[in-house]
Structure 1
Amino acid sequence: MGKQMTEMLKGTLEGIVLAILAAQAAYGYEITARLREQGFTEIAEGTVYALLVRIEKRGLVDVEKVPSEKGPPRKVYSLNASGRDYLDEFWRTWDFLSERLTHLAKGAR
């Protein structure tokens, strides 16, 4: 993954993870697996776990500890009302930027 891709992902990964949680609650490894299924193969688990800590502290997700067959309980994250509001704003912002970038790209080609 190039430096530009890495930098752009830093600004959007939070919204991407919230979109994954909007579809279904999940624990950290499941979120990483879903990211990889979507083509985000270069994102490290550590990056996802750090992001989960941040969005939990900001109150965008609810967390439930669920027993695990292997090791300590897993923290399962689900999107709450604040997270849904934040995700809605993310998509509005994404649409705005996407439209403007598409317009700029057409003019530059």
Structure 2
Amino acid sequence: MPAETGGFPRYPGTWQRALLPMCLLAGLENGSNHGYALAKKLEERGFSPLKGATLYPALGKLEEAGYIRGAWKEGRGAPGRKVYALTASGRERLRTLRMLWDSFQSTVSRPHEQ
């Protein structure tokens, strides 16, 4: 896992913003979860802490596109939470994004010819 260096995020912020939708879909691949838990999982994997102003609009866009489905769950002694689940369309989108990511990684990793 990349380390904190000189006060910079573990991964560059531009990478995190670009990859957030794919990472959120991947975070729901094995079951539903709420936004805060998804953010904590990403943080454990090297993302900088996600602010609500970044996380929830990204989840909203995925929901609006039909890739995830959100439902409010009542909390036991606590406020309710919106729990998100991957849809069939979201699984297909994740598969496509992973194929593109694999191709991109290959392009970046391959030595450039002069």
TM range (shorter): 0.7 to 0.9
TM-score by structure 2 length? 0.82
- Conserved in 2, the CA contact under 8 Å of 1:32 and 1:45? no
How many residues align? The count is: 104
Task: Find out whether 1:93 has 2:100 as its counterpart.
Answer: yes
Cα offset, 1:100, TM superposition = 0.6
Shift of 1:12: 1.1
Q: Deviations over 1:28-61 (max 9, x none)?
A: 1111111111121333232111111111111111
Percent sequence identity is: 26
Q: What residue identity is the alignment partner of 1:90? A: L
Q: Distance in 2 between matches of 1:24 and 1:38?
A: 18
Correspondent of 1:81 among 75, 79, 88: 88
Alpha-carbon displacement from aligned partner over 1:41-86 (angstroms, at most 9, x marks no partner): 3332321111111111111111221111312x21100101000010
Letter matched to residue 107 of structure 2: R
Question: How big is the alpha-carbon RMSD for the aligned residues of Structure 1 and Structure 2?
Answer: 1.8
Structure-2 separation of matches of 1:21 and 1:51? 14
Q: Which runs of 5+ in 2 are unaligned?
A: 1-7
TM-superposed CA distance for 1:13, in Å, is: 0.8
Q: Which structure is higher in helix share? A: 1
C-alpha displacement of 1:6: 1.4
Query: When the two structures are superposed, what TM-score results if normalisation uses the length of structure 1?
Result: 0.85
